[in-house]
């Protein structure tokens, strides 16, 4: 969604609300596939000359568990919060999001925030047991019967305790 922020930048107290959904035309990550549109609810407002964008993006995606490689559906909620500027005063631009020509590509900004918020590791559940390194069985579905490798440091300790 292209948003003209001409009025919001120019008029103190001006506010605009958003409640819409969109589907990006490119993939956000190799690690998951969107299974719903991205829904954004938020607003942009001019408070005493400072323009802020606040909102939340919600969507679902099919994700591959980093531990057991099973696909699962995960819901994401990502906060989208920025101070918007129509021009940069200096090079310290990290805290500000530059809106060139006062025209904001809101979808692109939301997608940027989503990509930055994604974890490096997706787990189907907190205590996912992963797959057996020997036979490849998904251990969430039960033990596989392979002999457990004992950490050599641990077996040395056990031998000491035996004495
Ligand atoms: Zn898993
Ligand atoms: Zn096994």
**Which contiguous run of DSSP H or E holds residue 18?**
strand 15-22
Query: Given this model, what pLDDT does residue 45 score?
Result: 98
The CA distance from 147 to 121, in Å, is 28
| 100 CA → ligand 1 middle, Å | 43
- Give me the residue label for tokens 């531990």: 67
Query: Given this model, what pLDDT does residue 155 score?
Result: 61
The stretches of 64-129 forming alpha helices (DSSP H) are: 106-117
Neighbours of ion ligand 1 (CB under 5 A): 65, 67-68, 124, 128
| 153 CA → ligand 2 middle, Å | 22
Query: Given this model, what pLDDT does residue 145 score?
Result: 87
Nearest to 1 by CA among 106, 110, 113: 106
Query: Given this model, what pLDDT does residue 150 score?
Result: 58
Q: Count Cβ atoms below 10 Å from residue 79 Cβ, excluding itself.
A: 11
Query: Given this model, what pLDDT does residue 88 score?
Result: 79
User: What is the DSSP-derived secondary structure letter of residue 13?
Assistant: T
pLDDT along the chain (163 residues), means of 10: 96 97 91 93 97 97 94 96 88 80 96 93 94 92 80 63 61
**Which residues touch 149 (CB under 8 Å, ≥6 apart)?**
133
Query: Given this model, what pLDDT does residue 9 score?
Result: 96
| 121 CA → ligand 1 middle, Å | 11
Query: Given this model, what pLDDT does residue 91 score?
Result: 63
| 116 CA → ligand 1 middle, Å | 23
Q: Domain limits of the chain?
A: 2-128, 129-163
The CA distance from 163 to 155, in Å, is 13
Query: Given this model, what pLDDT does residue 30 score?
Result: 84
**Which residues touch 39 (CB under 8 Å, ≥6 apart)?**
20, 21, 57, 58, 59
Query: Is 0.85 topped by the overall pTM?
Result: no
Give percent helix, percent strand, percent coil of the chain, each to the nearest 5: 20, 40, 40
Which ligand is in closest contact with the Cα of 142? 2
From start to end of 87-136, where are the E strands? 96-98, 103-105
Which ligand is in closest contact with the Cα of 147? 2
| 48 CA → ligand 1 middle, Å | 49
Query: Given this model, what pLDDT does residue 87 score?
Result: 87
| 160 CA → ligand 2 middle, Å | 29
| 129 CA → ligand 2 middle, Å | 12
């Amino acid at each position: 969604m292209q948003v003209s922020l001409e009025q919001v930048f120019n008029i103190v107290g001006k506010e605009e609300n958003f409640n819409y959904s969109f589907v990006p035309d490119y993939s956000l990550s190799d690690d998951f596939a969107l299974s719903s549109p991205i829904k954004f609810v938020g607003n942009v407002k001019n408070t005493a000359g400072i323009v802020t964008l606040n909102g939340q993006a919600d969507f679902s995606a099919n994700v591959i568990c980093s531990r057991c490689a099973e696909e699962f559906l995960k819901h994401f909620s990502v906060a989208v919060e920025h101070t918007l500027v129509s021009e940069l005063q200096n090079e310290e631009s990290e805290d500000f999001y530059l809106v060139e020509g006062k025209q904001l590509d809101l979808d692109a900004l939301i997608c940027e925030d989503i990509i930055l918020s994604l974890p490096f590791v997706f787990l189907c559940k907190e205590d996912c047991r992963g797959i057996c390194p020997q036979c490849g069985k998904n251990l969430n579905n039960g033990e596989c019967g392979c002999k457990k490798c004992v950490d050599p440091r641990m077996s040395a300790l056990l031998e000491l305790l035996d004495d």
